[in-house]
């Protein structure tokens, strides 16, 4: 689950799902985008979704993920018991945790999309097709920021697949189908409409830009397909808002255009999804800011910082500018801007409609690949200390952007945390900034390395996470 907190008192549930069926070529009776109309006769009200289900359900598969978890005895680490029995006597045998979800075949060669939270930390991932065959899968790419993962299986033959639709063309009120295995009861088809587009501030992942639907989505549906009436995939079902854990008609799906960007990255051979780098940070345009800038409505993304020599600076973007559109598509907030830049893709150039010094203008900004971090600016912490197992790096504008931090953030941040390591056990996360160790302020890798080389009986840490300082004392 994303580190962003769910709004108010409502609980946000990430779902796991099981799907099955067979996919066939689309037939002429499938609805097209050419006509959208309300039913007007009794016969039209008796129309069925059955043909659409038969055509699409087979592209959805079961995903089984499992990983071993080392359990510790309550006596582990106790000096008295370890003095007589040794530390090894208190480590219980590892136990296996498993999760069950869904995936969608998006390419006949066996490319499968699922949610990252379905296979997070998995040691093995198996895929079961609707005809009963099972395959070991290879994880091509996992991305926590989008909550997407790409798998690959080799079935030795072309597989049924779902084409990716254009989620930007989906309109509020469009009919949709969600197919899944809610609560493990078996394959279930639910219908509904698109309740909202471009839904942000949801708290599901770091890329907040979702299709909202009232089609019943329950625990058991993650990784499954949200299907439009043209038989194409318009979203990957991901989460729901609920107080009870059951559907209350507020479900969220990752748009197909975001899915397409991640799939293309995996097909290109990359094992990490990277958002484009432009070297600027943004904030929401509040009503007060809009009034001060002479705007009739508060929308867009306000530029708060520009990195020297960045694509944003080269393109002519200025601090205080408000980005209103990307390639003529209106931008409501920084999340919407990030989505548009990400789906445009690295290597592209986008035209930004900007309000600059009370004048509207257009600037062209190139979307660059984030610069690689220098090995000299990285450190894998080892040894017998609470941060052992953490890969840390000196922040640069590109690495800060990759870690979902403002581009101008300075300091030493956590890049990766090894599973079951001491750093993982104390709750360290990628993106955490190490601000202090035992009273010593940390700004560089050298300062952190020196601080971690000591052997105190008591460790005192200060971490920055989401703008807040977290202090920990560890013996």
Give the residue numbers marked as catalytic. Answer: 117, 147, 222
Q: Are strands 378-380 and 390-394 parallel, antiparallel or unpaired?
A: antiparallel
Task: Give the integer Cα–Cα distance in Å for 222 and 120.
Answer: 13
Rounded to 10 degrees, the C-alpha dihedral 161/103/272/278 comes to: 80
Give, in order, the Cα–Cα distances in Å from 103 to each of 89, 176, 250, 306.
Answer: 41, 18, 21, 40
Task: Give the integer Cα–Cα distance in Å for 237 and 226.
Answer: 6
DSSP structure string for 240-293 = EEESSSS--S-EEEEEHHHHHHHHHHHHTT-SS----B-SEEEEE--HHHHHHT
Beta-strand (E) ranges in 45-90? 60-69
Q: Which run of H or E residues covers position 340?
A: helix 334-344
Contact criterion met (CB below 8 Å) for 69 and 97: yes
CA 217 from centroid of its chain's CA atoms: 18
Residue 119 φ then ψ, to 5°: -115, 10
Contact criterion met (CB below 8 Å) for 58 and 43: no
Residue 149 φ then ψ, to 5°: -140, 145
Q: Which run of H or E residues covers position 233?
A: strand 233-242
Nearest Cα residue to 222 out of 242, 243, 251 = 251
Contact criterion met (CB below 8 Å) for 442 and 434: yes
């Amino acid at each position: 689950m994303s580190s962003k907190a769910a709004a108010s008192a409502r609980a946000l549930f990430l779902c796991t799902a099981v799907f099955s069926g067979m996919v066939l070529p689309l037939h002429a009776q499938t609805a097209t985008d050419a006509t959208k109309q309300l039913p007007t006769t009794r016969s039209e009200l008796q129309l069925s979704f059955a043909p659409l289900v038969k055509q699409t359900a087979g592209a959805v598969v079961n995903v089984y993920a499992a990983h071993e978890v080392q359990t510790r005895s309550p006596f582990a680490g106790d000096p008295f018991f370890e003095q007589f029995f040794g530390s090894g006597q208190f480590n219980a045998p590892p136990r296996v945790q498993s999760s069950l979800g869904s995936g969608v075949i998006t390419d006949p060669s066996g490319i499968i999309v699922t949610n990252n939270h379905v296979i997070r930390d998995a040691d093995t991932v198996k895929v079961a097709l609707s005809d009963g065959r099972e395959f070991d899968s290879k994880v091509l790419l996992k991305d926590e920021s989008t909550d997407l993962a790409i798998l690959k299986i080799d079935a030795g033959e072309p597989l049924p697949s779902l084409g990716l639709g254009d989620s930007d063309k989906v309109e509020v009120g469009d009919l949709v189908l969600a197919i899944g295995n809610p609560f493990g009861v078996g394959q279930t088809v639910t219908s509904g409409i698109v309740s909202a587009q471009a839904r942000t501030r949801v708290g599901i992942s770091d890329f907040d830009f979702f299709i909202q639907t009232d089609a019943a989505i329950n625990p058991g549906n993650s990784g499954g397909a949200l299907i439009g009436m043209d038989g194409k995939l318009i979203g990957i079902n991901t989460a729901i808002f609920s107080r009870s854990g059951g559907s209350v008609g507020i479900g969220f799906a990752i748009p197909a255009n975001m899915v397409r960007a991640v799939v293309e990255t995996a097909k290109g051979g990359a094992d990490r999804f990277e958002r484009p780098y432009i070297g600027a940070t943004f904030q929401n345009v509040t009503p007060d800011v809009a009034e001060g800038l002479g705007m009739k409505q508060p929308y867009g993304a306000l530029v708060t910082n520009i990195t020297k020599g960045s694509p944003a600076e080269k393109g002519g973007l200025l601090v205080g500018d408000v980005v209103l559109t990307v390639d003529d598509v209106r931008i409501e907030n920084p999340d919407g801007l990030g989505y548009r830049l990400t789906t445009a893709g690295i290597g592209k150039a986008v035209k930004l409609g900007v309000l600059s010094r009370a004048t509207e203008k257009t600037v062209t900004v190139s979307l660059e690949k984030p610069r690689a971090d220098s090995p000299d600016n990285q450190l894998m912490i080892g040894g017998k200390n609470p941060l052992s197992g953490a890969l840390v790096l000196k922040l640069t504008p590109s690495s800060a952007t990759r870690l979902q931090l403002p581009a101008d953030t300075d300091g030493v941040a956590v890049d990766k945390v090894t599973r079951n390591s001491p750093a993982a056990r104390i709750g360290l996360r990628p993106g955490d900034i190490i601000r202090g160790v035992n009273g010593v302020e940390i700004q560089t890798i050298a300062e952190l390395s020196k601080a971690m080389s000591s052997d105190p009986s008591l460790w005192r840490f200060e971490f920055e996470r989401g703008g807040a300082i977290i202090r920990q004392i560890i013996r």
